[in-house]
Structure 1
Amino acid sequence: MLKGRTRFIALLLAVLLTLAACGGQPTGSPGNEYGSGGATTEPTTAPPAQPSTGDELQVDRSRLSSELRFFNWTDYVDPSILEDFEKEYGVKVIVDLFDANEDMLAKVRAGRSGYDIVTPSDYAVEIMWRDGLIAKLDKSLLPNLKNIDPDLLNKYFDPGNVYSVPYMYGITGIAYNRQSFPNGVESWAVLFDTAEIARYRGQFSMLDDERETPGAALKFLGYSLNETSPEALKKAQDLLIAQKPFLAGYNSSDVNRKLASGEYVIAHAWSGSALQARNGLGDEFSGNPDIAFVIPKEGGMIWMDNMVILADSPNAYTAHVFMNFLMRPDIAARNAEYIGYLSPNVEAIKLLPQEIIDLYNEGFAPNDEVLKRLEWAIRNDQTAAFTDLWTAVKGE
């Protein structure tokens, strides 16, 4: 899950800190803020699906498909929201899962995937529109786009948001069990120093991601996570190969569950996955109150995932309606609370419960000091070297 600048997060932090100072969140009536394949056209005027919500989108039910296929990251949407969408619009959302942008890209690039909406990370959005894999959005069908933080729009990977809208964002660091690390965690050394990791061999994991895990190694070594010099990449590769015998595995799919259960005592993790380990995930599994999350002193990664519609989607109109639904403040707040990642929806942030705000302030969201230590992953001709590095490490 992955990348431009950090000013937009200051708004989130300002809201969170204001809410925390007030001892609660402001009240308000939650409103609706947030086809046919190929190009979309203007919707036909029809009675709103739910007049009481005040949604500006007038949905033409005759254009809705009976099903929508959603290709998404693991544990990355509240199932009850999908049920509510079906109740409201009569459309069943079928979800398939991926654990890495590269796996998603391979499946989509092959063609005829059958998917309508996908949630690529920032750099992957650029790859997809340059390769003609995603359709231009019809903004007239997305009135709830008004709820998205302006600082999260018009980023380097999709100027003008022609193809994508923000879904969630987060940071990548270390999740750990405070019972096993009573003095806390400060450095990536806890995952790379062989003298350290020998103590918990087989009880920790690294993300199964060709940018995240080499990026963590590079940060530990004192480089940018985007460093591509042969010398730096060789050092990172050697470090990862030395670490490998101590690992439980490379894991991007169920780190949350293994941390919560105690199978892992520490892990390289996304912030939302760590928060899921702390709080649990609905009826899926119970949380562990001893789980904490930290960005090491050497720094970490910040990233944003986005919603896009595939160019060959047969249900483009319905896909727009679903996107708009997910950007409704009440829906976006429920989704963020359930999955633990950071919402780009400024109106949704106001609806988050105090317990989530407290966890953000505890470290599951970045403060001003942490922001200075975060980098976005960039992609250029030189960063293709990470694929070779990762292939070598995985094949060792």
Structure 2
Amino acid sequence: MTNRTALGTAMALALTVPSLAAAQDLLVFDYSGFETPEFHQPFIDQHGASPEFVFFGDEDEAFQRLLAGFRSDVTHICAGSVPRWQESGIIEAWDRSRIDAYETLNSDLLGSDVRAGSADLMWVPTDFGSTAIAYNAETVPAEDVASLQIFTNPAYAGRLSIPDNVDDAYALAYLATGVTDWTNATDEQFEAATAWLRQIHPNLLNYWVDPGEIAQLMASGQVQAAWVWNEVPVALADEGFPVGFQRNTTEGTSVWLCGYVNMANGEGSEDQAYDFINAMHAEVSAGPLLDNGFGTANDAALQALGAEALEAAGLGPVTVPVLAQLPMSNEQRERQAEAFERIKSGF
């Protein structure tokens, strides 16, 4: 990266967070909400202001804008997208030696090849959460959510929901069909997971789009059990709803993970890019992230918050296999996305 002299596009100017105090040498392309100062307070302490933030709605939008010429310095994406971005040539590797918390990052979030140093560090995890079954604890017996096969149970037809998200959907389907590592899924395993998703389609009320939507459907009683992110049961519990969150299903549970990529053509400060990542990993950032439903990838900082806080946020320890939503090949992800769209359309 070289020092930025201009944002480069009118769109960037229009969508930049208005802040006279913004640090002008780093532009962060991100989901709305991650500009929260408490998430990167050490960066503010060091530079006197937050980085400049520009927001996108989803990662495909972000990808297309970057291919069209918009320039950022670091971009927030989830693990499943990394191979596609890497193959496009728009990102470059991070330097492990400049990631202060690298040795205490959760190894399950990095992947064994990256941890061993046999693969370039193309993406740095910063935040993660769990996906599991939330259910109405007053109307759904605990034994019914002991297995992911509740989604195939005709007794709950029309009262179930899963995310309108290909990664979460296939994490569920792979687990339900006996796969706990999707990075090397075979054709047969993909076909079995796809068939399982097709099997549960008639049982679903809908494919939920955002956490507020599924929380409302559960609170109204329309949905009795759903495959959700950990922030959903936390929000429902805060409202006094009798929600359960079953992460120890027989087949296992899932963890989604997101982080930042280093943009190859960024015009800002490379030093500030590392300062930002290190601020996100800082111990002081762990509490604010958890309060908003996100676990920090810095396991040392996360564990320092205590078991009670982690359990309350839906991120406590589990005794079953965990499918981490690690990067997969672009071909595999596209195949899953195509199949998922067909299933949602009834085919």
Kindly state the Cα deviation for residue 356 of structure 1 after the two structures are TM-superposed: 0.9
Q: Distance in 2 between matches of 1:206 and 1:359?
A: 22
Q: Distance in 1 between matches of 2:109 and 2:57?
A: 24
Are the structure 2 counterparts of residues 323 and 188 from structure 1 closer, same or farther at C-alpha, using a change threshold of 3 Å? Answer: same
Q: Distance in 2 between matches of 1:242 and 1:260?
A: 18
Gaps of 5+ in 2: 5-22
Q: For 1:266-345, what aligned pairs fall within 5 Å after superposition?
A: 266-270=225-229, 272-274=230-232, 276-278=234-236, 288=241, 290-317=243-270, 318-335=272-289, 337-345=290-298
Show the counterpart of 1:68.
27
Identity of aligned residues (%): 19
Show the counterpart of 2:338.
388
Number of residue pairs matched by the alignment: 317
Q: For 1:341-352, what aligned pairs fall within 5 Å after superposition?
A: 341-352=294-305
Q: Distance in 1 between matches of 2:211 and 2:70?
A: 21
The one of 144, 162, 183 equivalent to 2:121 is 162
Structure 2 residue 90 is the aligned partner of structure 1 residue 133: yes
Are the structure 2 counterparts of residues 289 and 133 from structure 1 closer, same or farther at C-alpha, using a change threshold of 3 Å? Answer: farther
Q: For 1:1-396, what aligned pairs fall within 5 Å after superposition?
A: 36=2, 64-65=23-24, 68-72=27-31, 77=34, 79-81=36-38, 84=41, 87-88=44-45, 89-94=48-53, 96-98=55-57, 103=60, 106-107=63-64, 110-138=67-95, 141-149=98-106, 152-153=109-110, 155-156=112-113, 159=118, 162-183=121-142, 185-198=145-158, 200=159, 204-221=160-177, 226=185, 228-229=187-188, 232=192, 235-236=195-196, 238-243=198-203, 246-254=204-212, 257-258=215-216, 261-262=219-220, 264-270=223-229, 272-274=230-232, 276-278=234-236, 288=241, 290-317=243-270, 318-335=272-289, 337-353=290-306, 355-359=308-312, 364-367=315-318, 369-370=319-320, 372=321, 374=323, 376=325, 379-380=328-329, 381=331, 384-396=334-346
Higher share of residues assigned strand = 2
Which contiguous aligned blocks of 4+ residues in structure 1 show a shift greater than 6 angstroms? none
Show the counterpart of 2:15.
none
Gaps of 5+ in 1: 1-34, 39-63, 281-285
Does the residue aligned with 1:248 lie in a helix, a strand or coil? strand
Are the structure 2 counterparts of residues 104 and 252 from structure 1 closer, same or farther at C-alpha, using a change threshold of 3 Å? Answer: farther
Superposition CA RMSD, Å: 3.8
Please tell me whether the aligned partners of residues 286 and 295 of structure 2 are also in contact (alpha carbons under 8 angstroms): no
